[in-house]
Structure 1
Amino acid sequence: MQIDTKIIAHRGSRGTRPENTLISFKTAIDEGAEGIETDVHFSKDKRFIIMHDETVDRTTNGTGLIMDKPLAEIKQLDAGIKFSEEFKGTRVPTLEEVVEMLIKINFTGIFNLELKTNKIHYPGLERAVYEYFAGRHYPFQLIYSSFNGKSLEILNRIDPQAYKARIFRTAAKQAKTLKRSKVIEDFHPDIRWVKKHPFYAAARHLRPWLVNSTEDMQYCFERNMAAIITDYPGRAVQVRAEMRGGLI
């Protein structure tokens, strides 16, 4: 079976490693993922912090908002202990550290960077991220995404050539408006919404999340969607190989 669907690891191999850490991203790539997805915030001293939540509470041994903490304080937190004792001492990475790792291993897949501005709109984050990437060479395909359409519009004004996607759970009309306005190229919808609205967009423009069950993986692979975003990239690689007839 012809399947071109790429596998993007959601916060790395989140199902098997502490999310949004270097070991999580490296594991996902080693398992065969063609892409990794992650999230970026601003610290108090305007450093790029890789974490999903606006607070450090859920994934580290600390408490409080990222925006209230300088990088030095965040670097003292343990980002692995809550996942498993095995990963005690794992640190919260910066965007720079993730990119350096990807460059070091010559990662040529997709790097999907979500701007986490839907709850806290960090002023200047869009331009700061743009300027960081504009100043360096990297081997991967950079895709920006966000739940916040305004962030994507800001980024589009700064760099119309940037590859952008709108994430949504149910806000499909707003996403379509951004597409018609040429602000975004693709859609990153909730898989549950996709299954209820199978004719929303061409498969080549869809990268649904969170595609974790074998059934949902098969659903996306059968339709040859652009990519899936999953917590279990290793499992997805196996399912896709089986559907391809054993060909990785």
Structure 2
Amino acid sequence: MIFAHRGAAGTHPENTMVAFIEAANVGADGIELDVQLTKDGEVVVIHDETVDRTTDGSGWVKDMTYRELRALNAAATWRGRYGHCPIPHLEEVLAWLAPTPLAVNIELKNSLIAYEKLEQKTIALVRRYGLEKRTILSSFNHNSMRLCRELAPDMETALLSIDPLHDPWTYVRVMKADGLHPHYRTVTAKWAAEARQRGVAVRPFTVNKRNAMKTMFSYGVDAIFTDYPQQAKQWKEETP
């Protein structure tokens, strides 16, 4: 599968509705997005813990209300190409996604800030739209993923990692996770094959270069995350 990382983030403002819509238009199998909580407890879609890099504002997401965040332009760095793109609420994305065939990977951004009830609120929204079977919950915060497993045993969970994990198969079993989302540079053919044998889904991130993408496809990984879903689809079709 091809998951559009933060939407079609290579060609559109990341984690915005225009990026998600573009991902659907070019034939991605799913979208990936990041969630955090506002000061007033709303689940919003944004990657960084601050708004400085991706918007025309400044400050921490946790210190701003939903209304304050919505006033910011998440396409500010694109020099007017996409006009004003507000930071989406997770519900807005899921309501749009529900009638499509897309899967969604929701990454909980709670490693730096322990957002209280982020897991519960995210799961509740997924259930509201009946997307339990099309949703993967992931995080670098593996304690959070264990909590999600307890709260929603019917939803898939995956553990994100930058560095190779020691004895990943035992770890996945102990954490009761369904998949691993490793940095693509840590994935080998042998490792991917062993994951398949053990029934562990492997979805490397963030794969943007042609050779790396073709290598991942040749390894038979379950999915990749890419900023360029249209290009990825073309390269996938070229791979024997």
Count of residue pairs the alignment pairs up: 236
Q: 9, 13, 32: which is aligned to 1:14?
A: 9
Read off the aligned partner of 2:139 and give its amino acid letter.
S
Q: RMSD between aligned alpha carbons?
A: 1.8
The superposition leaves residues 111-154 of structure 1 with CA deviations (integer Å, 9 ceiling, x where unpaired) of 00001111111011111112222333249711000000110111
Distance (whole Å) between structure 1 residues aligned to residue 116 and residue 190 of structure 2: 36
- Contact 1:34-1:109 at 8 Å conserved across structures: yes
1:90 Cα offset (Å)? 1.1
TM-score for both structures, normalised by structure 2: 0.92
User: 1:225 aligns to what SS in structure 2?
Assistant: coil
* Corresponding position of 1:199: 191
- Contact 2:132-2:155 at 8 Å conserved across structures: no
Q: Report the CA distance shift for 1:138/1:186 in structure 2 as closer, same or farther (over 3 A).
A: closer
Read off the aligned partner of 2:66 and give its amino acid letter.
L
Gaps of 5+ in 1: 1-5
Q: Where in structure 2 are the equivalents of 1:203-242 lying within 5 Å? A: 203=196, 205-242=201-238
User: 2:76 aligns to what SS in structure 1?
Assistant: coil
* Corresponding position of 1:33: 28
* Corresponding position of 1:93: 88
- Contact 1:111-1:140 at 8 Å conserved across structures: no
* Corresponding position of 1:3: none
Q: Where in structure 2 are the equivalents of 1:133-212 lying within 5 Å? A: 133-138=126-131, 141-173=134-166, 176-181=169-174, 183-195=176-188, 198-199=190-191, 201-203=194-196, 205-212=201-208
Read off the aligned partner of 1:30 and give its amino acid letter.
N
TM-score for both structures, normalised by structure 1: 0.89
- Contact 1:164-1:186 at 8 Å conserved across structures: yes
Read off the aligned partner of 2:140 and give its amino acid letter.
F
